[in-house]
Amino acid sequence: MADINIQRKKSSPSPWLLVLLAAVVVAVAAYFFLRPDPADEPAPPVVTPEAAAPATAPDTLAAAAAVDQATRRAAIDSIPQGDTSQDAGGSETASALATQAASDPAAPGYALNGLQKLTGVLVSLTDRDDLRDPTTTEQRDNLTSATARLGEPNTSLRPGFVAAAGLIRAMQQKAYPDLETQANALVSLAGQLSGRSTTAVEQHQNQQFLTQAAAAVRILSEPKQLN
């Protein structure tokens, strides 16, 4: 009887293993072909110390501060430090006040200068015998207190204007009854002032007040007419 040679069938590799190997090969090929070339990448911008510094650093800020300081100094320097040429009635200062009132209201120190001149002549007038009484003395003290720090930055002029109008009305009530309408108008106008000279409206109001105050001071500087 013939022998039958029986051989075992060899197992074939799993198809999933072939798929996995193919995927790995494709991934490796894609990496090498699709990765960006370092030469094509844009170079990072070079930041120099000059470019990194802000444009408005020390030099610009120092220049702006110098301009602001110069402006304030010009305004302060324009304030007279006292008029020694006044006579007993203050007529020379009254003329200087009228000249100041008629000048450019937009000029630096216009309102400051005008209020200082007005304060000088009014304080001088309170020394007259016919105008000296407790009411005018009190109003004079209010005025000198309100104008004591006019040279300091950001000082409002409004309290000085209001006090000056109050002193004018007190002297009017003491010896100048015919000046009542003008004195009351000054008190009303002073109450409307902002104490600044920034806008054209504020500059016009300052000039209007100083002009009317100069006219009242000129009358107050004249001797009282006895009936």
Residues 29-42 have pLDDT tens digits of 777 666 665 555 55
Predicted local confidence at residue 85, as pLDDT: 39
pLDDT digits (tens, 9 = 90+) for 84-120: 334 434 445 789 999 999 999 999 999 999 999 999 9
> Collapsing DSSP states into helix, strand and coil, what is residue 112?
helix
Q: What's the whole-model pTM score?
A: 0.60
Kindly indicate the confidence band of residue 21, based on its pLDDT and cuts at 50, 70 and 90. Answer: confident
Kindly indicate the confidence band of residue 3, based on its pLDDT and cuts at 50, 70 and 90. Answer: low
Predicted local confidence at residue 189, as pLDDT: 96
Predicted local confidence at residue 24, as pLDDT: 77
Nearest residue to 120 (alpha-carbon basis) of 179, 172, 160: 160
Predicted local confidence at residue 142, as pLDDT: 96
Nearest residue to 219 (alpha-carbon basis) of 141, 146, 121: 121
Has residue 193 got a pLDDT over 80?
yes
Residue tagged 């006019």 (tokens): 150
Instruction: Count the alpha carbons within 13 Å of 101 in the hemisphere toward its beta carbon.
Output: 23
Residue tagged 């000029």 (tokens): 107
Kindly indicate the confidence band of residue 9, based on its pLDDT and cuts at 50, 70 and 90. Answer: low
Report the pLDDT averaged over residues 42-69. 49
